């Protein structure tokens, strides 16, 4: 049977950074909605028919390639949540190449441009989100974020099912 679920593509965070973002998610995300580990989404919805080509392209972007430099550059209000804004020109270049390769098949959300971020709170009352944003902004300092690899996932409505992992050198 062929897979019919859409594919999500993420950048994999380094172990220490993933643990830090996950701790923030556990502290500030509504527990009943926190079904995923901290993640940096690059594409929200790719057609399942792209599976083989996607795996090949992700492997080509990572195999023998030094991990891109990235940093948490600020905070973003999501209205009903808060995220860390991530900056990485090298990761943006990878995403641009993938977007160009899959351009005719991109959904509007993935065609609209990329705002790299790691969400640590969502689906809360706006006043709760504003309070967390103020608290985090008071302590915020830009800091490096390790990008360990790229991954693809099947989206089947709940927690994502792993499809492939591609680690940087």
**pLDDT per residue over 135-164, tens digit each?**
999 999 999 999 999 999 999 887 899 999
Distance CA 117, CA 105 (A): 23
Share of the chain above pLDDT 90, in %: 90
Residue 63 CB contacts under 8 Å (≥ 6 apart), including other chains = 166, 169
Neighbours of 14 (CB within 10 A): 17
Q: Is a pLDDT exceeding 50 seen at residue 12?
A: yes
Higher pLDDT, 157 or 47: 47
Exposure on the CB side of residue 123, measured as CA atoms within 13 A = 8
Euclidean distance between the first and the last CA atom of the chain, given in angstroms as a whole number: 34
Residues 39, 149: Cα–Cα separation, whole Å: 12
pLDDT of 2 strictly over 70: no
**3-state SS track over 101-146:** HCHHHCCHHHHCCCCCEEEEECCCCHHHHHHHHHHHHHHCCCEECC
> Among residues 159, 67, 49, which one has the least CA distance to residue 105?
49
Q: What is the pTM of this model?
A: 0.94
Q: Average per-residue pLDDT in the chain? A: 95
Share of the chain above pLDDT 70, in %: 99
Average pLDDT over residues 120-145: 97
Superfamily designation of domain 7-167: Cyclic phosphodiesterase (3.90.1140.10)
Question: Would you state the structure tokens that stand for residue 84, as one six-digit string?
Answer: 């860390």
């Amino acid at each position: 049977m062929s897979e019919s679920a859409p594919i999500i593509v993420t950048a994999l965070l380094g172990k220490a950074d993933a643990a830090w973002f996950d701790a923030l998610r556990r502290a500030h995300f509504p527990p009943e909605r926190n079904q995923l580990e901290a993640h940096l989404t690059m594409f929200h919805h790719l057609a399942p028919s792209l599976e083989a080509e996607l795996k090949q392209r992700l492997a080509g972007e990572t195999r023998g390639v030094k991990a891109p430099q990235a940093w948490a550059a600020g905070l973003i209000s999501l209205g009903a949540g808060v995220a860390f804004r991530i900056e990485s020109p090298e990761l943006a270049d990878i995403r641009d190449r993938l977007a160009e390769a899959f351009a005719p098949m991109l959904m509007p959300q993935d065609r609209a441009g990329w705002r790299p971020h790691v969400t640590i709170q969502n689906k809360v009352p706006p006043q709760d989100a504003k309070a967390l944003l103020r608290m985090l902004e008071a302590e915020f300092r830009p800091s490096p974020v390790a990008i360990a690899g790229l991954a693809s996932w099947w989206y089947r409505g709940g927690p994502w099912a792993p499809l492939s992992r591609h680690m940087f050198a």
